[in-house]
C-alpha cells in the first residue's frame, strides 16, 4: 500500500466554474483519487477555494456583501456543486483559512531570512474615489495608439498594443469611472526566484515522465528572453493575508497583503492542516503528508491543473518551498491539461457562453458529464464540447453498452431463473477466452489509470464493457436455455458476475452508476479485480440480486436541440 497526496488546482472564488475548468483539474484529480482508493492505497485528496485578490473584492461589492461574507457564501456554493459532481475531496478548504495565513507568513519569513526577498519601489495608480490602488487592468482610457476609448491599463483590446496605465489618455477607474487618479510610489516585496533558476532547471530536468505540456511550459519560462523573472508577491489591498514576517510585523509593509499567487499554492499545505483540524487530528496527522522529515518521504504527490497554472506550480511554488530551506514535500508528478472549447469557441464566463457546473447538474446526473468530459479530456491538445458528440457518446457508451448490459443480463436471469444467481453447468472454452481477454484488458486499464492516461483509460474501460455484450451475443443463453438449461445457467452466472466486475471497474469514472450496479447486485465495493478469474467467482449460485431501474436514460434529440439553443450564449432570453 502506497500513500498518495493528490491536489487539484484550486478554483477562484468569484463564481461558479464551467465545464472547462472542471475537466482541467478537479475531475481528473478525482478520477485518480478514486482509483487509488479503490486499489487500497492511502489517499489524501485536497482542494480549496482561492479567495484573495481584486476580482473577489469586486465580485463581493457587486453582490452587495462584505468580501469575507461573500467568500464564505461562495465557498459553500462551490462545495455543494463539487459534491454534486461526486468530487471526493478529503477536504475542501479555503485559502483564507487561519492555517494559510500562518503558513504564508511563515514562508515569507523563511524566504526573507534566506535572502530571497527584496523590496522594490514602484509607481502605481491610486484612485481616491475607490480608496484603493488599481491593478493595471482596472484602469481604462483612450488608447494613444489607435484611439479606442475602452483600452485597459495593461493592453488595448482593440489594437493589442501593450500599455502602461500612464499611457492612457483620460484614464479612469474601471470600477467607479472616477478620473480622480494619482500615481503614487509604493513598495513591494519580490520573490527572487531567479536566484533559484539553476536548481529549478535541474529539478524540472529530473522529471522525465511529466507530460510534454508541463515541461515545455516550465522550460519556456525558465529560458525565454531574460530567463526566469522575479515576481512581486505583495499588493496594496485590504482582502488578503497581511504581510508579516512570521508572527512579527514587517516594517514598511503595513497595510499590504500577499499577492494571491503567492498564498494560493501554499493553501495546498494549509488545506491539509484544515483537514486535520476538521477531523479532530493533531499537526502530526497532516505533517506526515507534507514534511519529509515527519513521515512524508514515502508519499507520492500528484498535482492536476490546466495549462495556465503550470508556471506557478513548476516554478514559483517550488521556489517558495526550496527557498524556505525546510524539508517540504515537492510534487512528484504534475498532470496538466489543455483547454476545453465549447462548440467552436471558448467557454466564456462574461458572455455566458458554454455550460457551468450548476447548470450541467440541472440537466443530467453527474455521471453523464463525468464520462463525456473524462473520455474526451484535453490531454494532447485542446478539445471541443459539442452537443452532438455529447449525446452520441453518452447514449452509446453509457446507455447502450454499459447500462443495457446490466439490464439485459439481470432481466434475462429473472425471467428464466428468478432473481438469484443460477446454479448448474460449468465453464468451457468461451468462458476461458472471455476471462483471458478480460484479464488482459483489466491489466491494461489499470496501467493506463496508474499513468493518468485519462482518455486511454476510458477507452479501455469501454472495451471491457463491450466484452460483456460480445460474450452474451456469442454464447446466446436465450438459445442455450432451450436445449441445455444448465449450460444457460452457467452463462448467466458469469454474466451476472460481469455486472459486478463492471460496477467495480467503472467506479472512478461513473461513481453513482457504479454504486447502483453494486447495490442491485447486493455487493459492497471491495477489492480491485487484479485476479479477474477469482473476481468473477464472487457471486456464487444462490446469491440474490435486484433488477435495477434504467441506469442511463438516453438524451433525446429534442433535449439536445433545446440545450444547444439555450447555451449558445446568443441573445439572452
Sign of the four-CA dihedral 84, 85, 86, 89: negative
153 in Cβ contact with 165 (< 8 Å): yes
Which residues in the 48-107 window bind RNA by CB under 7 A? Answer: none
| Phi, psi of 456, rounded to the nearest 5 degrees | -65, -35
Write out the three cell numbers for 308.
495556465
Q: Is 122 in the site for RNA (CB under 7 A)?
A: no
Q: Is 156 annotated as a binding residue?
A: yes
Of 26-34, 84-92, 269-277, 458-466: span binding RNA (CB under 7 A): 458-466
Q: Which helix (H) or strand (E) holds 445?
A: helix 429-450
Q: Is 294 in the site for RNA (CB under 7 A)?
A: no
Of 66-74, 113-121, 135-143, 210-218: span binding RNA (CB under 7 A): 210-218
Q: Is 47 annotated as a binding residue?
A: no
Per-residue contact flags (x/-) with RNA for residues 413 to 432, judged by CB under 7 A: --x-----------------
113 in Cβ contact with 246 (< 8 Å): no
Give the up-direction half-sphere exposure of residue 157: CA atoms within 13 A in the CB hemisphere. Answer: 8
Identify the residue among 550, 561, 565, 566 touching RNA (CB under 7 A): 550
Write out the three cell numbers for 129.
474615489
Spatial CA neighbour of 7 closest among 257, 305, 214, 256:
305
C-alpha distances (whole Å) from 55 to each of 167, 196, 308, 320, 443 are: 23, 30, 18, 24, 47
Identify the residue among 552, 555, 563, 567 touching RNA (CB under 7 A): 552
Identify the residue among 146, 433, 451, 476 touching RNA (CB under 7 A): 476
Spatial CA neighbour of 127 closest among 189, 170, 177, 80:
177
Of 116-124, 195-203, 429-437, 454-462: span binding RNA (CB under 7 A): 454-462
Q: How far apart (Å, rounded) are the C-alpha atoms in residues 82 and 64?
A: 25
Identify the residue among 225, 251, 280, 344 touching RNA (CB under 7 A): 225
Identify the residue among 73, 90, 113, 308 touching RNA (CB under 7 A): 308
DSSP structure string for 24-70 = IIIHHHHHHHHHHHHTT-EEEEEEEEB--SHHHHHHHHHHTS-HHHH
Of 239-247, 266-274, 408-416, 420-428: span binding RNA (CB under 7 A): 408-416
Q: How far apart (Å, rounded) are the C-alpha atoms in residues 390 and 393?
A: 5
Of 103-111, 142-150, 474-482, 529-537: span binding RNA (CB under 7 A): 474-482
Q: Is 213 in the site for RNA (CB under 7 A)?
A: yes
Identify the residue among 459, 522, 543, 564 touching RNA (CB under 7 A): 459
| Phi, psi of 500, rounded to the nearest 5 degrees | -60, -45
Least gap, CB of 244 to RNA (angstroms)? 30
Considering the complex, state which of residue 271 and residue 452 has its C-beta at the smaller distance from RNA: 452
Identify the residue among 162, 206, 350, 483 touching RNA (CB under 7 A): 162
Q: Which residue has the cell 473476481?
A: 535
Which residues in the 232-271 window bind RNA by CB under 7 A? Answer: none
Q: Which helix (H) or strand (E) holds 468?
A: helix 454-475
Per-residue contact flags (x/-) with RNA for residues 365 to 404, judged by CB under 7 A: -----------x--xxxxxx----x--x---x--xxx-xx
Considering the complex, state which of residue 281 and residue 348 has its C-beta at the smaller distance from RNA: 348
Considering the complex, state which of residue 270 and residue 472 has its C-beta at the smaller distance from RNA: 472
Q: Which residue has the cell 493506463?
A: 448
Least gap, CB of 326 to RNA (angstroms)? 30
Which residues in the 489-548 window bind RNA by CB under 7 A? Answer: none
Considering the complex, state which of residue 137 and residue 456 has its C-beta at the smaller distance from RNA: 456
Considering the complex, state which of residue 150 and residue 474 has its C-beta at the smaller distance from RNA: 474
Least gap, CB of 192 to RNA (angstroms)? 18
Q: Is 137 in the site for RNA (CB under 7 A)?
A: no
Q: Is 220 in the site for RNA (CB under 7 A)?
A: yes
Q: Is 469 in the site for RNA (CB under 7 A)?
A: yes
Give Cα 8 distance to the centre of its chain: 5
Q: Is 363 in the site for RNA (CB under 7 A)?
A: no
DSSP structure string for 100-143 = HHHHHHHHHHHHHHTT-EEEEEEEEEEETTTTEE--GGGEEEE-
Considering the complex, state which of residue 90 and residue 308 has its C-beta at the smaller distance from RNA: 308
Considering the complex, state which of residue 80 and residue 396 has its C-beta at the smaller distance from RNA: 396
7: CB partners within 8 A, 6+ apart = 29, 45, 46, 47, 268, 271, 301, 302, 303, 304
Question: Phi/psi class of residue 386: alpha, beta or left (left: φ > 0; alpha: ψ in -120 to 50)?
Answer: beta
Identify the residue among 285, 466, 525, 559 touching RNA (CB under 7 A): 466
Q: Is 159 annotated as a binding residue?
A: yes
Q: Is 346 in the site for RNA (CB under 7 A)?
A: yes
Identify the residue among 31, 81, 321, 472 touching RNA (CB under 7 A): 472
Helix axes 212-223, 197-205, angle to 10 degrees: 160
Q: Is 350 in the site for RNA (CB under 7 A)?
A: no
Write out the three cell numbers for 239.
482582502
Residue 160 class from Cβ within 10 Å (0-12 exposed, 13-18 middle, 19+ buried)? exposed
Query: Beta partners for 50?
Result: 12
Q: How far apart (Å, rounded) are the C-alpha atoms in residues 22 and 81?
A: 11
Of 25-33, 107-115, 456-464, 557-565: span binding RNA (CB under 7 A): 456-464
Q: Is 224 in the site for RNA (CB under 7 A)?
A: yes
Q: Is 180 in the site for RNA (CB under 7 A)?
A: no
Q: How far apart (Å, rounded) are the C-alpha atoms in residues 369 and 21?
A: 13
Q: How many residues bind RNA (CB under 7 A)?
A: 54
Least gap, CB of 486 to RNA (angstroms)? 17
DSSP structure string for 143-174 = -TTT--TTEESSB-TTT--B--GGG-EEEEET
* Residue list for the binding site for ATP: 349
Binding-site residues for Zn(2+), please? 143, 146, 156, 159
Task: Note the residues at the interface with RNA (CB under 7 A).
Answer: 160, 162, 212-213, 216-217, 220, 224-225, 307-308, 338-339, 346, 376, 379-384, 389, 392, 396, 399-401, 403-404, 406-409, 411-412, 415, 455-456, 459, 463, 466, 469-470, 472-474, 476, 478-479, 550-554
Please report, in range form, the residues annotated as the binding site: 143, 146, 156, 159, 349
Amino acid at each position: 500500500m502506497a500513500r498518495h497526496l493528490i491536489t487539484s488546482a484550486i478554483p477562484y472564488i468569484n463564481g461558479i466554474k464551467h465545464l472547462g475548468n472542471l475537466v482541467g483539474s478537479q475531475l481528473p484529480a478525482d478520477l485518480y483519487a478514486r482509483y487509488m482508493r479503490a486499489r487500497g492505497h492511502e489517499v489524501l485528496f485536497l482542494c480549496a477555494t482561492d479567495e484573495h485578490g481584486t476580482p473577489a473584492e469586486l465580485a463581493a461589492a457587486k453582490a452587495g456583501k462584505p468580501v469575507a461574507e461573500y467568500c464564505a457564501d461562495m465557498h459553500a456554493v462551490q462545495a455543494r456543486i463539487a459534491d454534486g459532481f461526486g468530487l471526493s475531496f478529503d477536504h475542501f478548504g479555503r485559502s483564507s483559512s487561519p492555517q494559510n495565513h500562518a503558513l504564508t507568513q511563515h514562508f515569507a519569513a523563511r524566504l526573507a531570512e534566506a535572502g530571497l526577498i527584496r523590496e522594490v519601489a514602484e509607481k502605481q495608480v491610486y484612485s481616491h474615489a475607490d480608496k484603493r490602488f488599481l491593478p493595471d487592468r482596472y484602469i481604462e482610457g483612450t488608447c494613444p495608439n489607435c484611439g479606442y476609448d475602452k483600452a485597459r491599463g495593461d493592453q488595448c483590446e482593440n489594437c493589442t498594443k501593450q500599455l502602461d496605465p500612464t499611457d492612457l489618455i483620460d484614464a479612469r477607474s474601471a470600477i467607479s469611472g472616477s478620473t480622480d487618479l494619482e500615481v503614487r510610489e509604493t513598495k513591494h516585496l519580490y520573490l527572487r526566484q531567479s536566484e533559484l533558476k539553476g536548481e529549478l532547471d535541474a529539478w524540472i530536468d529530473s522529471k522525465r515522465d511529466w507530460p510534454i505540456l508541463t515541461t515545455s511550459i516550465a522550460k519556456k519560462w525558465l529560458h525565454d528572453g531574460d530567463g526566469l523573472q522575479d515576481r512581486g508577491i505583495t499588493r496594496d489591498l485590504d482582502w488578503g493575508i497581511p504581510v508579516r514576517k512570521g508572527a512579527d510585523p514587517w516594517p514598511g509593509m503595513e497595510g499590504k497583503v500577499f499577492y494571491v499567487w503567492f498564498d494560493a499554492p501554499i493553501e495546498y499545505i494549509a488545506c491539509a492542516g484544515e483537514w486535520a483540524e476538521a477531523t479532530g487530528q493533531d499537526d502530526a496527522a497532516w505533517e506526515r503528508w507534507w514534511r519529509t522529515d515527519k513521515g512524508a518521504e514515502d508519499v507520492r504527490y500528484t498535482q492536476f491543473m490546466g495549462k495556465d497554472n503550470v508556471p506557478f506550480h513548476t516554478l514559483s511554488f517550488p521556489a517558495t518551498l526550496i527557498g524556505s530551506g525546510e524539508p517540504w514535500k515537492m510534487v512528484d508528478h504534475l498532470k496538466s491539461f489543455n483547454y476545453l472549447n465549447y462548440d467552436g469557441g471558448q467557454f466564456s464566463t462574461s458572455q455566458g457562453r458554454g455550460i457551468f457546473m450548476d447548470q450541467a447538474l440541472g440537466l443530467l446526473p453527474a455521471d453523464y458529464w463525468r464520462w463525456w468530459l473524462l473520455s474526451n479530456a484535453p490531454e494532447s491538445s485542446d478539445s471541443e464540447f459539442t452537443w452532438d458528440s455529447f449525446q452520441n457518446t453518452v447514449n452509446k457508451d453509457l446507455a447502450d453498452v454499459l447500462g443495457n448490459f446490466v439490464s439485459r443480463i439481470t432481466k434475462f436471469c429473472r425471467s428464466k431463473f428468478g432473481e438469484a444467481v443460477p446454479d448448474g453447468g460449468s465453464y468451457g472454452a468461451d468462458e476461458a477466452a472471455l476471462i483471458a481477454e478480460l484479464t488482459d484488458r483489466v491489466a491494461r486499464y489499470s496501467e493506463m489509470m496508474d499513468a493518468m492516461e485519462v482518455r486511454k483509460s476510458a477507452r479501455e474501460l469501454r472495451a471491457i464493457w463491450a466484452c460483456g455484450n460480445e460474450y452474451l451475443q456469442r454464447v446466446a443463453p436465450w438459445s442455450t436455455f432451450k436445449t441445455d438449461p444448465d449450460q444457460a445457467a452457467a452463462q448467466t452466472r458469469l454474466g451476472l458476475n460481469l455486472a459486478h466486475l463492471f460496477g467495480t471497474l467503472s467506479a472512478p469514472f461513473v461513481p453513482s452508476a457504479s454504486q447502483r450496479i453494486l447495490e442491485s447486485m447486493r455487493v459492497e465495493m471491495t477489492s480491485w479485480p487484479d485476479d479477474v478469474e477469482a473476481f468473477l467467482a464472487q457471486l456464487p449460485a444462490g446469491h440474490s440480486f435486484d433488477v435495477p431501474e434504467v441506469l442511463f436514460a438516453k438524451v433525446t434529440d429534442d433535449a439536445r436541440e433545446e440545450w444547444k439553443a439555450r447555451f449558445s450564449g446568443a441573445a439572452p432570453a
